[in-house]
């Protein structure tokens, strides 16, 4: 079989990829390249004895009744014993790439890992290595806002949505300055999407690269003074509009609106912890590209921004809100939402063709199910409609497709059950399984 090693081929969005829907579908295929099926990773396509430890099991699954002729593995566990955690390559935003198994081995207590969201495939020396596509909230901290309209999963709430609910606003002497993006150096460029560098871009310590430098823009460097001085309230139970204007839909809705009060946070809490307010003090402003120093918050803004009226030592307050949950990651597309199969666009050729796949979902009883389907791009694997039927056969009621193809990987209890190509592919984000405290 002809094979292209993803580590030696330079690719950007849309390079040698199938024709897909302009916009998002053009994004996701670039992290899926020609792959070599690893038969040793999957011993059989049929049901095999499961490996079980404290309720966690990994087993083979027969896809023949659904037209899937490649091997399938299913990882499942009860929420009473284990939780899902998001990990970043090298623990940074735009910090390069790392294999899911490496992420798991470097995380205390991790028992399993799979690949996460889609990402931009570039070399480390380029401007945005491993640039994440979707939004990321990790341990209640907003780390990355979505690059484009993107489906998301609340891993704790076991919900899926069409977008990430988030907002960050800075109060400058009574004037509200909305933040356009969090921890994004430059918007990604690919066919059909070319977003200009505009608005107010906020950067925190996990951002691995330098802040952008452009004519007509300044970077304002702030130091975090303290945490919230008063609780922040958040409305839950109904769809909320994000800063990008995309409503968030969840698998559960309520006709009653409730208000939740969140406790104050301490001085060491991350400045973008959701549903908190933080006081920031201006230290300096510069037109240069700079790295975010520990304890700092940097905001890149147009020269005419209200931030320009501040003098060194002046303070502002920053409020971060979200009802998306404390651990939220992106994927595409939503397959099932509260028992209902979500229609898949016929123009989405990525979902119409067969690929290796990674899917995460939940049953009505709260059991987490991760399914990995082996395959070769465009030749073998599973289509989107087959994924829906497979997950329904596993009693899954809510499911989101994650990155697939070359990125597909499953690591459990020190064993790599599947990897694509000649070796496990480094990725931008991973989803880990960790025991509950």
d(C-alpha 355, C-alpha 377), whole Å: 5
Which residues lie below 8 Å from residue 253, measured CB to CB, with a gap of 6+?
237, 238, 239
Chain centroid to Cα 235, Å, comes to 23
Tens-digit pLDDT profile for residues 149-189 = 899 999 999 999 999 999 999 999 999 999 999 998 655 44
Confidence class of residue 245 from pLDDT cuts 50, 70 and 90? very low
Predicted structure pTM score: 0.82
The b/e string for 212-224 (b: 16+ C-beta within 10 A; e otherwise) is beeeebbbbbbeb
Tens-digit pLDDT profile for residues 113-136 = 999 999 976 554 455 557 889 999
pLDDT at residue 10 tops 50: no
Q: Please compute, for residue 425, the number of CA atoms within 13 A of its CA located in the half-sphere on the CB side.
A: 33
β-pairing verdict for 201-203 and 296-302 = antiparallel
d(C-alpha 331, C-alpha 358), whole Å: 10
| C-beta of residue 177 within 8 angstroms of C-beta of residue 416 | no
d(C-alpha 119, C-alpha 149), whole Å: 14
pLDDT of residue 117: 97
d(C-alpha 225, C-alpha 266), whole Å: 10
| C-beta of residue 95 within 8 angstroms of C-beta of residue 403 | no
| C-beta of residue 292 within 8 angstroms of C-beta of residue 272 | no
pLDDT of residue 185: 66
- Which has the closest alpha carbon to 428: 6, 96, 32, 11? 96
Tens-digit pLDDT profile for residues 384-400 = 999 999 999 999 999 99
d(C-alpha 376, C-alpha 382), whole Å: 10
52 or 116, higher pLDDT: 116
Q: Concatenate the DSSP letters of all residues of 181-222 into one string.
A: EES-SS--EETTEE--S-S-EEE-TTB-SBPP--TTEEEEEE
* Nearest-5° Cα angle at 131, 157 to 380: 75
Phi and psi, residue 359, nearest 5°:
-130, 140
**Distance separating the N- and C-terminal Cα atoms of the chain:** 46
| Burial class of residue 274, CB neighbours in 10 A (0-12, 13-18, 19+) | buried
Measured from the Cβ of residue 347, the count of other Cβ atoms closer than 10 Å reads 12
Q: What is the mean pLDDT of the chain?
A: 80
pLDDT at residue 260 tops 60: no
pLDDT at residue 49 tops 80: no
| C-beta of residue 382 within 8 angstroms of C-beta of residue 354 | yes
**Domain ranges in the chain?**
24-141+148-161+328-362+384-435, 167-229+264-321
């Amino acid at each position: 079989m002809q094979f292209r090693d993803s580590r030696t081929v330079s690719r950007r969005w849309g390079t040698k990829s199938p024709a897909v829907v302009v916009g998002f579908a053009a994004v996701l295929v670039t992290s899926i390249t020609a792959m070599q099926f690893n038969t040793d990773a999957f011993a059989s396509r049929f049901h095999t004895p499961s490996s079980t430890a404290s309720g966690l099991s990994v087993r083979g699954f027969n896809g023949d009744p659904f037209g899937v002729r490649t091997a399938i593995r299913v990882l499942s566990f009860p929420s009473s014993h284990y939780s899902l955690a998001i990990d970043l390559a090298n623990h940074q935003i735009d910090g390069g790439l790392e294999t899911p198994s490496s992420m798991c081995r470097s995380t205390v207590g991790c028992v399993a890992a799979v690949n996460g969201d889609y990402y931009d495939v570039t070399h480390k020396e380029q401007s945005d290595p491993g640039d994440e596509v979707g939004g990321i909230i990790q341990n209640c901290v907003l780390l990355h806002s979505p690059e484009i309209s993107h489906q998301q999963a609340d891993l704790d709430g076991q919900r899926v949505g069409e977008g990430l609910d988030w907002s960050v606003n800075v109060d400058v002497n009574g004037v509200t300055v909305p933040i356009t993006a969090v921890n994004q150096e430059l918007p990604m460029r690919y066919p059909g999407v070319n977003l200009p560098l505009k608005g107010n871009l906020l950067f925190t310590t996990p951002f691995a690269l330098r802040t952008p430098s452009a004519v007509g823009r300044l970077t304002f460097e702030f130091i975090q003074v303290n945490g919230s001085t008063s609780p922040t309230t958040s409305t839950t139970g109904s769809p909320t509009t994000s800063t990008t204007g995309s409503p968030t839909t969840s698998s559960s809705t309520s006709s009653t609106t409730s208000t939740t009060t969140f406790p104050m946070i301490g001085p060491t809490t991350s400045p973008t912890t959701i549903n908190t307010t933080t006081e920031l003090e201006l230290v300096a402003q510069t037109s240069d590209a700079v790295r975010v120093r520990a304890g700092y918050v940097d905001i890149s803004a147009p020269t005419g921004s209200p931030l320009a009226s501040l003098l060194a030592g002046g303070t502002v307050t920053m409020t971060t809100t979200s009802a998306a949950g404390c651990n939220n990651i992106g994927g595409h597309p939503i397959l099932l939402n509260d028992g209902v199969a979500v229609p898949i666009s016929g123009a989405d050729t990525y979902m119409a063709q067969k690929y290796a796949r990674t899917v995460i979902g939940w049953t009505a009883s709260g059991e987490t199910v991760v399914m990995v389907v082996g395959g070769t791009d465009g030749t073998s694997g599973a289509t989107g409609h087959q994924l829906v039927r497979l997950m329904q056969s596993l009693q899954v009621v809510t499911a989101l497709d994650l990155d697939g193809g070359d990125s597909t990987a499953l690591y459990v209890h020190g064993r790599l059950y599947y990897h694509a190509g000649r070796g496990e592919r480094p990725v931008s984000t991973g989803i880990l399984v960790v025991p509950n405290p």
